[in-house]
C-alpha cells in the first residue's frame, strides 16, 4: 500500500523539522509530500534540503499562498497521479500526533471489504481531546462542530479535524474540481462530500496539542467562511430534500 502524507506549509521553518522527524519515526513506510505556498521564511528551501537527504520526502512548491484547501487539493491531485493508494492530511505545526497515522491506516478499507474509506483523527470521540487549549477555544470548536453536524445531518463528531486519511478510490469519486473551500471549512466540505458519494467514515481518537512553534493561521475570515458555507450547504440540502419529496408525491 503506497501512502502519501500531505504536509502543507506556510512559514513553518521552526516546526517542520520536529514534525517530520516524529512522522517518519512513527510511520517509516510512508512518503511525505510537503506542499509549500512560497513561505517567505525559507520553509520551502528547508523542505528541499530534507528531500535531498531522505528519498521518502518530496516538495511541491506553489507560487503563492492560496489557502489550506487549495494546497490540499493540489497535493491530492499530485499524489493520485503518482499512484498513491492512500492520501493522509497532516499539519506541519506539531498539533497532530504522529502515532495516530498507523492507527488511521489500520482502520482504512481492506481487501476483504471491511474498514472505512475515510478515517478521521477525532478530538471529540471517547479517548480524544485537546491539550493546552483554553476552555473558550474548546467551546468554539465543539459548538462549530455541533452546528455543522446538525445542519448537514452528519454523524461525524469532529467535522473540522485536519488529521485524516482517504483511500485513493474515495478521492477519485469526489469531484475535487468542484471544491472551492479554502480555510478549515475545507475539512467540513470534504466530509460532507464523502457522505454524498456513500463513503464509510470512521473516527479514531487523537490528542490534539496546541502548537509550540510558529504562529496560528486561524483568522476571523476563516471562521466566517465556515459559518457561511455550512449554512449555504444546509439550505441547499433542505431544498433538494423538498424537491425529491415533491417528485415522489407526484409520482
Number of H helices, E strands in the chain: 8, 9
The CATH number given to 3-250 is 3.90.550.10
Crossing angle between the packed helical segments 220-250 and 135-152, to the nearest 10 degrees: 20
Q: What is the pLDDT of residues 101-130, one digit of tens each?
A: 999 999 998 878 899 999 999 999 999 999
Q: What is the pLDDT of residues 158-217, one digit of tens each?
A: 999 999 999 999 999 999 999 988 877 899 999 999 999 999 999 999 999 876 665 555
Give the closest residue to 200 by CA, choosing from 152, 156, 246, 137: 156
Asked if 43 and 70 count as a contact pair (C-beta separation under 8 A), the reply is no
CA distance 196 to 174: 9
Confidence of residue 133 (pLDDT cuts 50, 70, 90): confident
* Count of other CB atoms within 10 angstroms of residue 10: 22
Asked if 143 and 86 count as a contact pair (C-beta separation under 8 A), the reply is no
Non-local (6+) Cβ contacts of 241 within 8 A are none
Q: Give the residue ranges of DSSP H helices in the chain.
A: 15-26, 43-53, 68-81, 100-107, 135-152, 168-173, 185-196, 220-250
What is residue 22's predicted lDDT score, i.e. its pLDDT? 97
**What's the whole-model pTM score?**
0.88
Amino acid at each position: 500500500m503506497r501512502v502519501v502524507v500531505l504536509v502543507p506549509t506556510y512559514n513553518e521553518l521552526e516546526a517542520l523539522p520536529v514534525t517530520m522527524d516524529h512522522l517518519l519515526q512513527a510511520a517509516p513506510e510512508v512518503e511525505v509530500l510537503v506542499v509549500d505556498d512560497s513561505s517567505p521564511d525559507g520553509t520551502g528551501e528547508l523542505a528541499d534540503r530534507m528531500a535531498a537527504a531522505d528519498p521518502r520526502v518530496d516538495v511541491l512548491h506553489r507560487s503563492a499562498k492560496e489557502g489550506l484547501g487549495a494546497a490540499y487539493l493540489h497535493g491530492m491531485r499530485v499524489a493520485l497521479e503518482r499512484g498513491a493508494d492512500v492520501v493522509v492530511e497532516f499539519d506541519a505545526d506539531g498539533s497532530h500526533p504522529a502515532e495516530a497515522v498507523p492507527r488511521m491506516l489500520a482502520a482504512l478499507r481492506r481487501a476483504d471489504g471491511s474498514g472505512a474509506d475515510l478515517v478521521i483523527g477525532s478530538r471529540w470521540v471517547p479517548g480524544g481531546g485537546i491539550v493546552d487549549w483554553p476552555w473558550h477555544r474548546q467551546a468554539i470548536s465543539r459548538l462549530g462542530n455541533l452546528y455543522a453536524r446538525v445542519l448537514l445531518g452528519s454523524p461525524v463528531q469532529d467535522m473540522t479535524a485536519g488529521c485524516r486519511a482517504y483511500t485513493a478510490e474515495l478521492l477519485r469519486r469526489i469531484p475535487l474540481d468542484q471544491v472551492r473551500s479554502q480555510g478549515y471549512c475545507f475539512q467540513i466540505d470534504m466530509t460532507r462530500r464523502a457522505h454524498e458519494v456513500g463513503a464509510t467514515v470512521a473516527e479514531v481518537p487523537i490528542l490534539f496539542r496546541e502548537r509550540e512553534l510558529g504562529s496560528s493561521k486561524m483568522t476571523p475570515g476563516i471562521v466566517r467562511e465556515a459559518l457561511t458555507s455550512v449554512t449555504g450547504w444546509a439550505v441547499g440540502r433542505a431544498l433538494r430534500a423538498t424537491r425529491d419529496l415533491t417528485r415522489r408525491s407526484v409520482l
